[in-house]
Chain A
Amino acid sequence: MNNNLYNYILGVADNSLILAQRLGELCGHGPTLETDIALTNISLDLLGQTRSYYQYAAKIKGEDATEDSIAFLRLEREYKNVLLVEQPNTHFGFVIARQFLFDVYHYMIMQQLQNSKDLNLAAIANKGIKEVSYHKRFSSDWVKRLGDGTSESNQKIQEAIDALWRFTDELFDILEADQKMINEGVAVDVSKLKAAYYEEVSEVLKEANIQIPESKYFTRGGKKGIHSEHMGYLLADLQYMQRTYPNMTW
């Protein structure tokens, strides 16, 4: 099997799975009916994309791998998602800030992945980018609404942006497997997206009257499987059924 390709796919897909799980936690708990529906719709889109990636990864892995075994039966250290997406829902400002910081990045990746030499990945990206453009529009709108809203909403979204900012630098890290896939024209060279990312993010934050954090302290590790303390709890929820009743089906 092509280990580098398999690992690269998981690196992209795990972000979507873990963020989908976080958003899924909000089902029935959104601040209003409309935002509740929107966030769970976004969760469903991300989960759908994850399924396409995992189905493909399962084919590459062979043996008896399935999309479900990849989603539910790995250990914490085997998940390759960035730290940003596993951060808790804390309050609505955090939900929106996390979504916005991820959506801008996600959209850029999808844009480039459409041109991947791997036609399966290109097809998934070509399908997914249409959905991600709606996500980005939703989260950017809310960043502006909160930032430009009351002094309390401004303070809360500012707090969330400040707290999550330290996870943004990791988005542009490249692992060894990634580099090999980049060389083959399969993977997206995320390191080249960094400048454009901060420019786009800053533009929206400025418009929203949110101050761009100046801290140069960044946390990383998720891509290498070193996760924050929140990840274990998230996986306990995610994996509960398969761990408790192995091989159960609906």
Chain B
Amino acid sequence: MNIESLNIESHLIPTLETVSDPEIPVLTVLDLGVIREAVEKDGIIQIKLTPTYSGCPAMDVISDDLKAAFATIGKEVNVELVLAPAWSTDWISEEGLQKMEEYGIARPLSETADKDVLLGQKKLVKCTNCGSTNTHLVSQFGSTACKALFKCDDCQEPFDYFKCLK
């Protein structure tokens, strides 16, 4: 998702970039696409935050981290949680996807391909260790709600796959 198309004031971006997802620390909240709006109004920063999954415990932490980050530049923050439109993995930036893969989490496939791999019908998920697609699904649910667990049949490494959400 392109930052320019969202209502995020450019002077707030440097501070927003210092806040990352507590579960995938290489991703900033901007990479993840969970900040839907950030504007300064009468000296207070108004932020609209959307959850990745309904029960995502990271949202409370992110909300606190945003307040702490802006406190360092003497600004107060008001965070509002918004549900609509619902977050989608399409909103993760290309840069974010690359950082995620380097971190060891395979990027989400397209919706149909995602269904195929999660039903174990096709081998499409690329091992983040050796790049082979000779991989298989171990569990549809991984260490967090957004991920599934895979294993590589070539190098034998287990790894996470970020499930497609649309």
Binding site for B on A (CB under 8 A): 34-35, 37-38, 41-42, 44-49, 51-52, 119, 122-124, 126-128, 130-131, 134, 137-138, 141
Contact = CB atoms under 8 A, between A and B. Distances in A.
A134 B87 CA distance: 16
A51 to B, nearest CB: 7
Given A46-B55, A48-B56, A51-B55, A127 B86 contact: yes
Interface residues of B, number: 25
Given A34-B139, A34-B149, A127-B84, 11 more contacts: A34-B138, A34-B141, A37-B139, A45-B53, A45-B55, A46-B55, A52-B54, A126-B86, A131-B145, A134-B140, A137-B119
Contacts of B140: 38, 134, 137-138
B118 A130 contact: no
Contact of A130 (B139, B149, B165): B165
Interface string B143-157: 111000100000000
A127 B83 contact: yes
17 contacts: A34-B138, A35-B139, A38-B140, A41-B141, A42-B141, A45-B55, A48-B54, A51-B54, A52-B54, A119-B84, A122-B84, A127-B83, A127-B86, A128-B54, A131-B53, A131-B145, A134-B141
Contacts of A128: 54
A123 B54 contact: no
